[in-house]
Amino acid sequence: MPENVLTEAPSQDAAPDHGGRRGLLGGRVPLARLRDLALVPAILAIAVVGQFVNPVFLRSDNLVNVLQTMSEIALLVLAQTMVLIVKKMDLSLESTMGLAPGIAAWLVVSAGVGHGLGILPGGWAVPVTLAVGALIGVVNGVLIIRFGLNGFIVTLGMLIVLRGVLTGISGGQTFFQLPKSMLYLGTAQWFGVPTSIWLCLSLFAVAIVVLGWTSFGRSLYAIGGNVDAAKAAGIRTDRVLWIVIVTGSVLAALAGLLLSGRLASVASAQGDGYIFTVFAAAVIGGISLNGGKGTMFGAFCGILLLFMIQNVLTLAGVPAQWIGALNGLIILVALAISRITGGKAQD
């Protein structure tokens, strides 16, 4: 856990909007905590609709399938939520999800049949994947924090570069015959539930606690609300941004590891287009694109609601192309609702 970085309350402009400290000190349930529950009725409504559409929907195996397929992209939502709260944006997460396990597979799978080099033992796959994720985060941090470049443009360029590198090392083909170390997290079960679900829920639980009840979490909201006021309050803003950006990239690499393990392969297009679903989930979960607002619980409800809707549409026989269109429509509607309820123009 990072050491305390907030020694005094920031100015009113920079105060965290989530209301965690006031709730802890005053003993009252803050309004933001109640807003976190806004999607719960919608989730229950979709569950009822899904049961009417197809009785299979509420079966345990279908619900587990929804949570497992959601778990990989949910980690991208977790990462993007942290980045958005500090008023940054990382478009390269989807490419990191593909390249990090792609490089690991390239180095460890056998040459020829598996399309790899086979120069490292299989046990190195997981640490290599996470190390590549961290390295990508460091490069993004250097360009955004040290050189002060626009985060949107930097990560857009990084998305294209990483996608090209993955295509180059794979020759446009799919890596397979992955070692057991790469398959474990995507295929193992703990207490009858896929490991990826346990991992996803645990990481979101940790993030909810960190952002809601620690000084480090409050510093993220302060930076997103007013970075100058955060600096004046004694927050080491650059250090916090470094932690957020690098952690986000590592989470994306972990998400790629989960997906590769479940599919037992790494495709050259792995993660392609996922960023649109990530933003849809974050926006409907109440994460502000202006920074400083939103919670991890809201983000989790957003991705859960989105995947439940997709599952209902799939069970109803709706073509996948229309499901993709729905994601875009959800983003537009959620942005409009956020503008109306927030009363503030979005940059």
- pLDDT tens digits, 326-336: 767 877 776 67
pLDDT band at 196 (very low <50, low <70, confident <90, very high): very high
Mean pLDDT on 214-219: 94
Q: Choose the weakest-confidence range: 24-33, 258-267, 288-297.
A: 24-33
Q: Choose the weakest-confidence range: 8-22, 148-162, 199-213.
A: 8-22
275 has a pLDDT exceeding 80: yes
Give the pLDDT confidence score for residue 65 in this predicted structure: 93
Range with the largest mean pLDDT of 31-40, 107-116, 142-151: 142-151
Give the pLDDT confidence score for residue 37 in this predicted structure: 75
75 has a pLDDT exceeding 80: yes
Mean pLDDT on 97-112: 92
Give the pLDDT confidence score for residue 38 in this predicted structure: 76
Nearest to 83 by CA among 74, 72, 91: 91
5 has a pLDDT exceeding 50: no
Give the pLDDT confidence of 276-302 residue by residue, as tens digits.
889 888 988 888 888 888 899 999 999
19 has a pLDDT exceeding 50: no
Q: What value does the mean pLDDT of the chain take?
A: 85
pTM given for the model: 0.86
Cα gap 109→176, rounded to integer Å: 7
